[in-house]
Amino acid sequence: MQSGLPLGGALGSGGSIADACSVPVALTIAGSDSGGGAGIQADLKTFQELGVYGTSALTAITAQNTLGVQGVLPVAAEQVGMQMDSVAADLPPDAVKTGMLFSGEVIETVAERAVRYGWKKLVVDPVITAKGGARLLREEALEALRRQLLPLALAVTPNVPEAELLAGFPIRSFADRERAAAAIHSLGSRFVILKGGHAEEDRDRAVDLVYDGSGFLRLESPRIATRHTHGTGCTFSAALAAELARGASVPEAAAAAKAFVQAAIEDGLGLGSGHGPTNHFAYKRRMARRESGEHV
């Protein structure tokens, strides 16, 4: 796996421009979260923490905080396309992730650019609703997501409610999750990573399933009792894309992304009066303590 360079040291400590070119680049195509816990803000924080240079294409401006979403202003598909063109022309990404796309027109634009620029490491986070229940994908756009974007994805990262909508049936058991992963895989994505954070039957464990069409890999972690989980889905898919940009395989990247999110939840910031944000700084600090021999 290619090792990422700390962005602060790429040029700030005597490094050359040539040195900086070895920094992997990732692109996030998503909405803005004014509260900073999810969306492009969470993605760019995650990229930075994992030593990846982050670029972005904004799809919507949301007014939101830990209590909910107060408003959504979509960005025109043409402008979203222009942002992607600008990034691709000068800062070609090693991996790309999508988040809130909002409309069928934007989904079509993203799919067209993914083909045009040959984005092989495309992570689709099928953001449909916010943590508080606000709709972040128009009803008519779901079919565009299924038919136009998922066939281009290296990996798709639904949670249980999103998997129910993509697969077309309710998920009530672990067997249902496996069946849903297979159904979503049939839509074209090479890997399905079905996150288990919303699965109540797991009780004290959070079990994610990684499915490649031939078998399942289970990724497990202790379930944390907390309300501070805003942006965990965005953060997971961003960490996945960052690790892919650094050269990891999908199973390796999924395991690393789960560890990143687990640390972010366990070392929560305690901000806000509702569903608070996670701590995007926790993982790197935890790894630094581990490397120094400190027990974590």
CATH number of 103's domain: 3.40.1190.20
**pTM of the predicted structure, to 2 decimals:** 0.88
Q: Does any domain span residue 188?
A: yes
Told to judge if 235 belongs to the known catalytic residues of this protein, a careful annotator would answer no
Q: Is 3 a member of any domain? A: no
Q: Is 195 a catalytic residue?
A: yes
Question: Could you tell me if residue 210 is inside a domain?
Answer: yes
How many structural domains are present in the chain?
A: 1
Q: Is residue 277 part of a domain?
A: yes
The active-site residue out of 81, 197, 231, 276 is: 231
Catalytic residue among 232, 235, 276, 278: 232
Does 4 map to a domain? no
Q: Rounded CA gap, 80 and 37, in Å?
A: 22
Catalytic residue among 45, 97, 121, 195: 195
In this structure, is residue 230 part of a structural domain?
yes
Backbone angles phi and psi of 254, in degrees to 5? -65, -40
**229, 235, 258, 278: the active-site residue:** 229
Each residue's pLDDT tens digit in the chain (296 positions)? 344 434 343 434 444 444 546 899 999 999 999 999 999 999 999 999 999 999 999 999 999 998 988 999 999 999 999 999 999 999 999 999 999 999 999 999 999 999 999 999 999 999 987 666 667 788 889 999 999 999 999 999 999 999 999 999 999 999 999 999 999 999 999 999 999 865 666 667 889 999 999 999 999 988 887 777 787 899 999 999 999 999 999 999 999 999 999 988 887 788 888 787 888 888 777 776 666 666 65
Active site residue 231: yes
Give the residue numbers spanning the domain of 84: 24-291
- Active-site residue 234, yes or no? yes
Q: Is residue 204 part of a domain?
A: yes
In a domain, 39, yes or no: yes
